[in-house]
Amino acid sequence: MFLRSMKNPIGIFDSGLGGLTGYRALRKLLPGRTLLYFGDTARVPYGTRSREVIRRYSTQDANFLLSHGVCAILVACGTASSNALDLLEQTFSVPFVGVVAPAAEQAARVAENGNGRVLVLGTSATVATGAYERAIHAIDPKIQVRSAACPLFVPLVENGHTQKGDVAATAIAEEYLLPHADFRPDAVLLGCTHYPLLSEVLSAVLPGPVLISAGEASAKAMASLAAASLPPSDGSASDAFYTSDDPALFRREAARFLGAPPDAPVFHVDIEKY
Ligand code: DGL
């Protein structure tokens, strides 16, 4: 095993690359803390799978990160957060931060300063749980929430169809969003961490609402937790990325999420062992 000098790293996982939107935000917020990212790229997507499978995969992902000594875990995946966060919190003793509560809080704040309406976009498995809706209503029951499952967004992002004007992305975004145009949401909560890459397409199809990135919101929540109660880091970051598929592929694809190729090593993990 590759041995690294690091103290109290934070683990982050996602079904694949989408969680890098959370990693990127957290990297800026905690410059002196090592971040270990696991992307389950061999088993992505989670969003079309059963709750039982999502819970098993999420437990393995957390187990792997804990085997590398992380002191807390950011579940940077809407699907895993909405289907498995309760199980992870019961199973393991480190603190977990998911994307649902932090993103719901941001969306509720925007809605309270507007007309009180939020449109939640997520994978089929996320929307089926109603987790975002419950979290928003726990903050303010008067907020009107609509949710839309957008199963084709993850394949679009994974295949690079993210530019404004992309014909396929625009047609699919119109299909998902235009039925909600009359709802006039103040905020569109991007409840899947892949979706921020489609921001320009979404804003072109439905101009006006504030777009909320679940990954960024959760990174802020993790940074607050680190400041308030995590054990100290050694003040220097020595990040690593782990993937259940090919590291070279991960490196190339991650560049689209990070804005540049990852400047940390990428290792392969046999996740079924965990
Ligand atoms: N990034 C995952 C999420 O936030 C979605 C991808 C998937 O379906 O696995 O829900």
State the CATH number of the domain containing residue 253.
3.40.50.1860
Nearest atom in ligand 1 to the alpha carbon of residue 19 is 1
Question: Which protein residue's CA is at the shortest distance from atom 2 of ligand 1?
Answer: 77
For residue 2, is it within any domain? no
Q: Tell me which residue of 29, 36, 23, 47 sits closest to 192, measured CA to CA.
A: 47
Burial class for 203, CB neighbours closer than 10 Å (0-12, 13-18, 19+):
middle
State which residues form the domain around 14. 10-98+216-273
pLDDT tens figures, 145-202: 999 999 999 999 988 899 999 999 999 999 999 999 999 999 999 999 999 999 999 9
In the residue annotation, 77 being an active-site residue is answered as yes
pLDDT tens figures, 154-165: 999 988 899 999
In the residue annotation, 150 being an active-site residue is answered as no
This prediction has a pTM of: 0.95
Q: How many domains does the chain have?
A: 2
Test site for ligand 1: of 46, 54, 85, 271, most ligand atoms within 8 A of the Cβ: 46
pLDDT tens figures, 99-122: 999 999 999 999 999 999 999 999
Nearest atom in ligand 1 to the alpha carbon of residue 214 is 4
For residue 84, is it within any domain? yes
> Do residues 245 and 175 both lie within one domain?
no
Nearest atom in ligand 1 to the alpha carbon of residue 122 is 10
Cα separation, 74 vs 218, in Å, equals: 7
